Structure 1
Amino acid sequence: MKKILFTLLFSCLALFYLPISSVKADTGDDLVVKFNELQFTVNDYNISNPEVIYSKSGFTEVATVIDSDTGEVVETIELIPDLSRATVSSHTLRRSATFARTTVQLSVNIELYNNGSFRQINSVQGYYLGITNSITNTYIEGQNINVWSPNGYPTTSIKYAYNGTLTAAISSSGSAQVKAELLGAGFTFGGTIGGTSYYRVPFNQNGTISLY
């Protein structure tokens, strides 16, 4: 596999924003991000030269994926750990992709059993797909989301897949700059109804969360 360029972020506010030196990523057909507890595999990239910047915000591990050809942030992948140190613990993984300053976020909560060198995923306790911030009034049409284990539980890996259409609604007399930004980010104009113009872009993302 071709190794991704690694960039470590340093900040004078070290207690709040620290580089992660123990995680890594490889890319071939897939992007594989290895956090301290879990591994996140992305199967749907269409960028040829991704760069991954690792950081730590508080106790949350963060991998920011950048398109090196354009310098644009493609998405962020985060692991929010359970700090209880219990044998059975709960960890949350988030994948946040941005379209024209509108962010679609997948959140998956995993119950992990950890006893010495033995680990397993006991269950998926919940998952959610939503919009965390947006350039204008935006919602998801035709949302589908599924998180599952191909081999039942307990397991060492689970699959996830989600898709839908991101729809931005803006007054037909609204900002020309916002409309241009939507079109530049891959949205297509879907017509005007009652003075409101609609711009849409489909998304279809999938991958694997696993132990390693």
Structure 2
Amino acid sequence: MTSILHISASILGDYSASRDLTAEIVAKQVALYPGASVVVRDLVDDALLHLSPAHLAVFQGAVPASPELGQDIAQGGAYIDELFAADVIVIGAPMYNFSIPSQLKGWLDRVLVAGRTFHYTVNGPEGLLPKGKKVFIASTRGGIYSGASPLAALDHQESLLTAALNFIGLSEVTIVRAEGLALGDEAKATALSQAKAEIDAIRA
């Protein structure tokens, strides 16, 4: 049975374009793989603590200093388990100040772990996630950052996320992008319509 991991990171709730698009992508995947199971991770509701010296002490063998810290570290381990279990990973990634939300960066900090999701070899780092997993990123942003845009050099959103995923072995990444969402109602409607058409065209 196909397992789908659905990750949301927007703080906008029902007003979020990335949440809207990830829901569409998940629905498309369920239609393509009837009977698929879906695990939902809302990184806003499920926010982890920022990494701290106390975290590093536990990673090096110390006992967690508090139940809260122990639960937080266990949650980070669950994120890795979910990645390994998923056949399809759907990530909502809005652009906040030229990059990804801090909640999504926190998720990356917990799943990029040497010895678990990648390791170093004589030929450089190598991802440890099994081959063949599909990743879909719903990328949303207020301005235009793609192609020949003068703002292209400020895109540390898609570039960071795809680089991190590639680093741990997730190389089959499809980006569904809706940009220019802050350029007026017509521009927003057009961008979302185009993104949803791309989603509809996805095939197994």
Q: TM-score, normalised by structure 2?
A: 0.23
Q: Which has the higher strand share?
A: 1
Q: Which has the higher helix share?
A: 2
Q: TM-score, normalised by structure 1?
A: 0.22
Task: Determine which structure has more spread, i.e. the larger CA radius of gyration.
Answer: 1
Which is bigger in relative contact order (C-alpha 8 A, separation at least 6)?
A: 2
